[in-house]
Chains A and B, each alone.
Chain A
Amino acid sequence: MKYNAAEVGEIEIGTCKIVNIDGRSIGIYYDGENYHAIRNVCPHEQAELCKGHFSGTTLTSKPHEYIYGMEGEILVCPWHGWEFNVKTGESLVDPDRYRVKVYDVSVEEDRIVVHI
């Protein structure tokens, strides 16, 4: 099913709009190129994940080396700071066990449409 979640232009780059679709709270995030829809519930203690912070992060590296990357792809939970890939919903530490549902998004006639 397709749901109209927002208008194009309504969501600024690097920010997210939280909508309620059919009883599910979902965040629509705009990275400047694409929109991403991700469930607004953290699999850890159920904080409202999309009220967290979008950023990049330090990538896996050698001891005492910092490599910054994934700019704009990381959603950091507002409570305990678990990091999720906003594109896949996977947590960085344990992607198989902690994964947030993500939904397909398309842009149709200037509307941002979420597919559920």
Chain B
Amino acid sequence: MEVTEVKIAEPKIKMKRSIIDVDIHNYTPLDEIKRYLPRAYRDQIDLWGWRLPGSLYLNGGVKVGQMTDSTPPGGGFPGSDLQFMREQLLDRYQIDYGVLTGSDYSCQASPDLDYAAAVSSAINEYTLEHWLAKESRLKGSVFIPKQDPLQSAKEIHRVGSHPDMVQVIVSSGAEKPYGHRYYHPIYEACVEHNLPFTIHVLMEGVGINGPNTGAGYVSYYPEYRASRPMVMAAHLASFIYEGVFEKFPTLKVVLQEAGVFWIAPYLWKMDEDWKALRFQTPWVKKKPSEYFRSNVRVSSQPLEPTPNPETFNQMMNSVYANETLMFCSDYPHWDFDSPLRAFPKLEDSLWEKIFYQNAADLYSLPARGAGKEGAR
């Protein structure tokens, strides 16, 4: 009998070049966040709890929506341990820059505007101190109380010019579609600080936000996932028809995690309707797809596999992936897209745009290899 050496096998990871990952969920635990809240709120929480609305649906994966193998070896929640994140994600997949998107958006569904503002600020302080100050490859997202646009603008002015903050982030669940003029103070502040406005799926149908479909509440998580593009689609059309990109021509909007290829027929439809109905919104001077190309970016995960490569290439062209698409993994969530496996083989120049350049341009990040970055 032949006896072989028994050892744990690690899969070989061969990246062709380093990349940027625009959606990494660092864990932002409430007990840590609490320390950054004013005393009055800390007392309330001790007495009455957090009074933040929670999810309505089961998630995927085994450990509350996370990849099972992302639990840090020393224990703790996935995405909570910077060193393990370096090993499992940043170093392993040669990620030059990663944009942190936090883990808890519940304050963006709270009816208490001042509390939402305080929790947002606390998340931002926590992220600056515990993540961005320790690892220069990581960049941060400014959480805002989007249900109060004036306080949101204040928070953007407060932390938005920090060199490690690269975008403003909100949940896709909202009280009104995001193009509405109600929100414009937020965009004024985004433009002033040169920060993209990123809409990340979450909190649809939760708390003060509108239901997760126009047809009402769905029953199951897969059904809820299927409804995400509908909510995101409403935001996209709202930006275009409310004339946001005419009013704020340099504003960039990122659509995150609602899928990618649904956008293609949606643009065709909007372009066609614009031809006949242009007179109703005469400030929409260009075809909707042109605003999409100039002002909107899309992150890739969860990218839809197509039935065959021809369809994939057609869909990529139809969403102008070359200009608009940016790779992201969504680590450590269960529906993580591997940088090596999520996409079929891409032509080199397209790969470069999606895995690096489009994100570098959007977030003003250095070219590949410019200056060694890492632990601070």
Contacts and interface: CB of A to CB of B under 8 A. Distances in A.
Q: Which bracket fits the contact residues of A?
A: 20 to 34
A3 B4 contact: yes
Interface string A51-86: 111000000000000000000000010111100000
A79 B7 contact: no
B39 interface: no
Interface stretch (A29-37, A41-49, A87-95): A41-49
B55 interface: no
Nearest to A6: B6
Contacts of A4: 1-4
Contact of A41 (B2, B6, B11, B335): B11
Categorize the interface residue count of chain B.
20 to 34
Given A48-B69, A80-B336, A81-B62, A40 B3 contact: no
Interface of B is mostly: loop
Nearest to A51: B69
B8 A78 contact: no
B347 interface: no
B294 interface: no
Interface in B1-33: 1-9, 11
Contacts of A1: 2
A8 interface: no
**Interface-centre pick from B5, B67, B337 (highest chain A CB count, 10 A):** B67
Contacts of B67: 47, 78-79
A74 B8 CA distance: 22
A26 to B, nearest CB: 8
Contacts of B61: 80-81
A20 B9 contact: yes
Contacts of B335: 80
Contacts of B340: 45-46
A45 B6 contact: no
Nearest to A114: B4
A76 B11 CA distance: 18
B68 A53 contact: yes
Given A46-B11, A48-B69, A51-B68, A22 B334 contact: no
B223 to A, nearest CB: 13
A34 to B, nearest CB: 20
B275 interface: no
B334 A81 contact: yes
B38 interface: no
Contacts of A78: 62, 67-69
B189 to A, nearest CB: 37
A22 B6 contact: no
A111 B2 CA distance: 12
Contacts of B68: 51-53, 76, 78-79
Interface of B: 1-9, 11, 60-62, 67-69, 334-338, 340-342
Interface of A: 1-6, 18-22, 24-25, 40-41, 44-48, 51-53, 76, 78-81, 108, 111, 113
